[in-house]
Amino acid sequence: MWAGLSLTAGCCEEVLYRGFLMWYLMTWLPKEAAVLASAVVFGVAHLYLGWGVGVLRATVVGVVFGVAYLLTGTLWVPISVHAIVDVTSGLTGSAAFEQGAQ
């Protein structure tokens, strides 16, 4: 189930934050500012994880994904990387939890 959620999050979040929000912001702002602004919104959306781990880390990741989108011109790169990061994070967390339970 985690893999399905991760694939959905990677796809939906990238379409929303990079595909739509960045596109919309670039009608009003320079590309660099649009990347930063969309990354901040993406970071704040992860507030449920806390300020340091959630917001700050997600903001930095949002900048990386935004730059990847600008450099490649396709959402498939950030979608793929986002999904891979989420799947591996879930698998790593699950393995750590199982090791701790033994």
- Quick one: pLDDT band at residue 52, thresholds 50, 70, 90? confident
Q: What does pLDDT average to over the chain? A: 90
Q: Would you list the DSSP string of 32-79?
A: HHHHHHHHHHHHHTTGGG-IIIIIIHHHHHHHHHHHHHHHHS-SHHHH
- Quick one: pLDDT band at residue 97, thresholds 50, 70, 90? low
8 A C-beta contact, residue 68 and residue 60: no
* The model's pTM: 0.86
Structure tokens at 81: 């990387």
Residue 91: predicted pLDDT: 72
CA–chain centroid gap for 36, Å, is 13
Average pLDDT for residues 33-59, to the nearest whole number?
95
- Quick one: pLDDT band at residue 41, thresholds 50, 70, 90? very high
Asked whether the predicted pLDDT for residue 102 surpasses 70, the reply is no
Average pLDDT for residues 79-102, to the nearest whole number?
77
